Structure 1
Amino acid sequence: MTDPAAVEPTTFVLRARHVLTMGAAGHVRDGAVAVVDGRIAAVDGYAAIAARFADLPVLGDGGGILTPGFVSCHGHFSEGLVTGIGETHTLWEWFVHVVEPIEAHLTRDMAYVGTLLKATEMALSGVTTVGDMFCSAPGTPAITPGIVDALDVVGLRGDVSFGPADVPHGYPVDRIVAEHHALAQAAAASRRTRFRVGLATIPSSSDTLLAATRSLLAETDRLHVHLHEVREEVTASRTARGASSIEVAARLGLLDAQTVAAHCVWLSDDDVALLRRHAVAVAHCPVSNMILASGVCQVPRLLRDSVPVGLGVDGAASNDSQDMLATVKTAALLQKVHHQQADVLTAPAVLRMATLGGARALGLDDTVGSLDVGKAADLVLFAEASPSMAFVHDPYQAVVYCAGTRDIAGVWVDGERIVAGAQILTADVPAILPHARELAVELATRAGLASELAVT
């Protein structure tokens, strides 16, 4: 086996006992992927790949499981410094006691440091692409470019948005639009990040903000929005505007954009029909839905009705970890216990949601989500030499139910290795931790959070 440190970063052969392509080739046993200049050049049995690409260095010892990089299609790096604080709150109580108090105090430095730590946590759990909505007050100067700076350091692929709300805060819409534009400019100059228009929720948006959002979508035809996370949201929208949030968004033309909608827990038949008609993708966030007691997303029904579904770790203050493997396992178990049906959501189905499903939700399935020729070499290798992965009866179930972050031998994005031996290679996390703690103390204190860190 070639020493990874001595290998050209983006050109190599990676072999494994099981290659789960989530694409046309399906499950390849004793397989390998050939990577040339950061793109997948071939997927086949190892013998065929070795013969065809004899000059390329070979990574992997022939054991373990190789999958596409995971795609987390919803989260909030804005919560990166306030983990583990709100478990006794339902969503709207959590808004009042955790999220809203910090929004006016977030800075670009906080955005950078929080993202650096949480993006690292994601990478260590196999995430290679992250969809994020940063929720804060609009800044002067702009806050959100800090997200892009951190993603560039860690090396993740990003689909980032600013998630504004102006009810009841009264933030000026022109400043909100300026924050969108600042994030878009930062993403355009980044390594692997692109911009998406964001909107927190329909009920927390004035008519002026909704109109501004529609105008922004004329420039960038991609939308990230929360829809029907809790029953209270549906009631609030119907009370204020005479229709559900999904109906309002559809009526205003917002759903004509390529839309990823977080949660979608409380859905009527008409809501599901609108999602399907507008090809809206759902970002299912099972851990935060459970912590905040929001309800259970109708995942099996959505999949049957051809509504695309991906997975999201959600925010660092509502999950509260950013461990994608925990999200994958929870997604399967939640549906099984809710429906009291063991086969309602199987390991292959939930692994597809974590890879190709998430890529489709973000409109990136032509680039990532499966191990197909021509796509980016976003890869995760699970080591065989571990107590939990030493023997694999079913590789799909091994990844979904057995694997932990300790088992991740390597993560590659565009063929660049960013994780080796369960350690991040791209970010100096120990060096940033003292400053991160200082920022967490500052934020907790200024926001008046019920935190051990808050200085009183």
Structure 2
Amino acid sequence: MTDARDIARREVLVRGAWVITQGPLGTIADAAVHLRGGAIVEVGDWTALRAAHPELDVVGDGTGIVAPGFVNTHTHLSEALATGMGSELTLFEWGERIVGPLGAVLTQEDAAEGTALRAVELLLSGVTTVNDMFVHCNPGSHASVGVVDGIERSGLRAVVSFGAEDVADPALPPWAGVDEVLAEQFALERAAAEASARQVQAAVEAAATGAPDAGAPDAGAPDAAGTGLVSFRYGVGTLLGQSDALLAAGVAATREHGWAVHTHLAETREELVVASQRWRERTIDHADTIGLLDGPLIAGHAVWATDRDVQLLAERGTAVAHNPVANMILGSGVCPVPVLRRAGVLVGVATDGAASNDSQDMLQAVKMAALLQKVHHIDPSVIDASTVLRMATIDGARALGLDHLVGSLEPGKRADVVLYQDTVDVSVLHDPEGQLVYGASPRSVAAVFVDGRMLVSDHRCVSVDEAAQIERCRPLVRRIARASALAAEGWSRA
């Protein structure tokens, strides 16, 4: 089975009518990006680059848009095989009636195959980096570790986390002890580190033999001979879903090991009420009280953040992942994006999980990030396309601490590049940023490079065979529907 590990890095020029760099060069007309050995070597005028490199293959005919790959700052690949259930439920109801039963039966195989399936959707909507939180409550399975296999096969750049919750139902005893939850965190961290080590070693070996996969040390790129694509964050599913003992152990572990954190904060009004009853303070305040905000942290949603909360997040350097589509489907509310950004909080754009969104289409999330604010404020000027595009690229990379590698097209950064071309969606380019945000669709995604490997070619994912992966996942979908009783409860017809 061919996957991303069989695809060599390419030295090419990627050409567009416009190159949106998100860097100091801004947006350049009739330009190109020179990729070599997984790094960006140069960005600039097409005519000059072509004259300097007449021998190189060219991707793009000069009619489309070249842009940095999107950074999807928050999703749940644990929901990869569970789309279309409970879309009329509130988040609290949905978590109890859908996510809980689903999480009790997920396995490493489900994680690996579901991740590979959704990777196709992510890549075909321009995503090159994904920040995942795998949520499950299947004792002894270490199901989250399977995500790493799916990520390696697909070739995506990823940050992985286990969204641990041990007391999802306060009326029941914890499904796992603190030691068991921490053991899975360590297992996932180890799997991510081993995957990155394999990727770096493969690039080093290719460089030593002069293979096409060779690095480009003269490009000045970090880890120019190759960089690992998978990294780890400590996951806290929700504060309310964890016992005080697990919260304390998690904070201690993040301090001891220097782990950054991925969690949810202030997603729903009900969350704030229950938190106030339990701790006499809301979740953002409690996260600060226990020291969870002391280190790098990205929080999904922040829909119900008050002005005081926003100031605290800004002071602590906490980043926020905005999930407009999921927030609308679940009726959670509207994230105060303009307020957060004015306060200096980094805000990225995200799809959220495939079941809370029913899609991993990042282009849809980017468009909704703009439209939701406009209609909520009844003001079309409250946010513009350039701002949203920045949130979905370089700001998302900064939120994850990856902006030294990705998020903009600059010499020395990794070659995570997307070409939008060939469709009506991007045929009229009076305003390339506006057309990409408001008009582009997955049909427009002609080519996607991650770390210099071309994973989408001629509008088709080549690292994962889409048809074959669908067939591999169909029996898994039926199994989880039956094993979780979601089929018996009427939530699934699989």
TM-based fold match above 0.5: yes
Q: CA-to-partner distance for each residue in 1:307-335, whole Å, 9 max, x for gaps?
A: 00001110011101100000001111000
Please give the alpha-carbon distance, in whole angstroms, between the structure 1 residues aligned to 2:26 and 2:290: 41
Structure 1 residues 8, 109: CA separation in 2 closer, same or farther (over 3 Å shift)? Answer: closer
Please give the alpha-carbon distance, in whole angstroms, between the structure 2 residues aligned to 1:63 and 1:311: 27
Corresponding position of 1:320:
358
Please give the alpha-carbon distance, in whole angstroms, between the structure 2 residues aligned to 1:156 and 1:139: 28
Contact 1:153 1:426 in 2 (8 A): yes
Q: Does 1:198 align with 2:203?
A: no
Corresponding position of 1:112:
112
Q: 1:399-414 to 2 correspondence within 5 Å?
A: 399-414=436-451
Structure 1 residues 109, 401: CA separation in 2 closer, same or farther (over 3 Å shift)? Answer: same
Please give the alpha-carbon distance, in whole angstroms, between the structure 1 residues aligned to 2:62 and 2:257: 47
Please give the alpha-carbon distance, in whole angstroms, between the structure 1 residues aligned to 2:138 and 2:178: 9
Contact 2:85 2:491 in 1 (8 A): no
Q: Matched residue of 2:425: which SS?
A: coil
Q: 1:46-445 to 2 correspondence within 5 Å?
A: 46-137=46-137, 139-167=139-167, 168=169, 170=174, 171-190=176-195, 191=199, 192-217=229-254, 218-383=256-421, 385-445=422-482
Q: CA-to-partner distance for each residue in 1:282-331, whole Å, 9 max, x for gaps?
A: 00000000000000000011111110000111001110110000000111
Please give the alpha-carbon distance, in whole angstroms, between the structure 2 residues aligned to 1:8 and 1:177: 36
Q: CA-to-partner distance for each residue in 1:365-406, whole Å, 9 max, x for gaps?
A: 1110000111111011000x3222222110011101111101
Please tell me the residue identity of whatever aligns with 2:328.
M
Please give the alpha-carbon distance, in whole angstroms, between the structure 2 residues aligned to 1:32 and 1:454: 48
Q: What stretches of structure 1 of length at least 5 have no aligned partner?
A: 1-6
Query: 40-49 or 287-296, which moves further after superposition?
Result: 40-49
Q: What stretches of structure 2 of length at least 5 have no aligned partner?
A: 1-6, 200-228
Please tell me the residue identity of whatever aligns with 1:20.
I
Please tell me the residue identity of whatever aligns with 2:324.
P
Please give the alpha-carbon distance, in whole angstroms, between the structure 1 residues aligned to 2:78 and 2:239: 20
Please give the alpha-carbon distance, in whole angstroms, between the structure 1 residues aligned to 2:158 and 2:368: 24
Please tell me the residue identity of whatever aligns with 2:32.
A
Please give the alpha-carbon distance, in whole angstroms, between the structure 2 residues aligned to 1:295 and 1:58: 45
Query: 1:138: Cα distance to partner?
Result: 5.1
Query: 1:160: Cα distance to partner?
Result: 0.6
Please give the alpha-carbon distance, in whole angstroms, between the structure 2 residues aligned to 1:401 and 1:331: 10
Structure 1 residues 151, 110: CA separation in 2 closer, same or farther (over 3 Å shift)? Answer: same
Structure 1 residues 149, 196: CA separation in 2 closer, same or farther (over 3 Å shift)? Answer: same
Query: 1:54: Cα distance to partner?
Result: 3.8
Q: CA-to-partner distance for each residue in 1:79-132, whole Å, 9 max, x for gaps?
A: 111101111101001011110111110011111111111111101100000000
Query: 281-290 or 443-452, which moves further after superposition?
Result: 443-452
Structure 1 residues 56, 138: CA separation in 2 closer, same or farther (over 3 Å shift)? Answer: same
Query: 1:437: Cα distance to partner?
Result: 1.4
Contact 2:83 2:355 in 1 (8 A): yes
Query: 1:182: Cα distance to partner?
Result: 1.0
Q: Matched residue of 2:480: which SS?
A: helix
Corresponding position of 2:219:
none
Contact 1:83 1:321 in 2 (8 A): yes
Query: 1:274: Cα distance to partner?
Result: 1.0
Q: CA-to-partner distance for each residue in 1:151-186, whole Å, 9 max, x for gaps?
A: 111100000100011113502111111111111111
Corresponding position of 2:16:
16
Query: 1:454: Cα distance to partner?
Result: 5.3
Please tell me the residue identity of whatever aligns with 1:136.
H
Corresponding position of 1:4:
none
Q: Matched residue of 2:159: which SS?
A: strand
Q: Matched residue of 1:436: which SS?
A: helix
Q: What TM-score, normalized by structure 2, do the two folds share? A: 0.88
Q: Matched residue of 2:190: which SS?
A: helix
Contact 1:160 1:195 in 2 (8 A): yes
Q: Matched residue of 1:375: which SS?
A: coil
Q: Matched residue of 1:140: which SS?
A: coil
Corresponding position of 1:3:
none
Query: 182-191 or 136-145, which moves further after superposition?
Result: 136-145
Please tell me the residue identity of whatever aligns with 1:115.
T
Query: 1:51: Cα distance to partner?
Result: 3.0
Q: CA-to-partner distance for each residue in 1:337-378, whole Å, 9 max, x for gaps?
A: 000101111011111111111111111111100001111110
Please give the alpha-carbon distance, in whole angstroms, between the structure 1 residues aligned to 2:250 and 2:276: 20
Query: 1:141: Cα distance to partner?
Result: 4.0
Query: 1:432: Cα distance to partner?
Result: 2.8
Q: Matched residue of 1:276: which SS?
A: helix
Please tell me the residue identity of whatever aligns with 1:265.
V
Query: 1:261: Cα distance to partner?
Result: 0.4
Please give the alpha-carbon distance, in whole angstroms, between the structure 1 residues aligned to 2:455 and 2:125: 12
Please give the alpha-carbon distance, in whole angstroms, between the structure 2 residues aligned to 1:8 and 1:114: 25
Contact 2:135 2:144 in 1 (8 A): no
Please tell me the residue identity of whatever aligns with 1:254.
L
Q: CA-to-partner distance for each residue in 1:426-453, whole Å, 9 max, x for gaps?
A: 1122223233111111111121114575
Contact 1:138 1:179 in 2 (8 A): no
Q: CA-to-partner distance for each residue in 1:221-260, whole Å, 9 max, x for gaps?
A: 2000100000111111111111111111112111112110
Q: Matched residue of 2:387: which SS?
A: helix
Query: 74-83 or 250-259, which moves further after superposition?
Result: 250-259
Contact 1:138 1:176 in 2 (8 A): no
Please give the alpha-carbon distance, in whole angstroms, between the structure 2 residues aligned to 1:52 and 1:243: 62
Aligned residues: 448
Q: Matched residue of 2:130: which SS?
A: strand
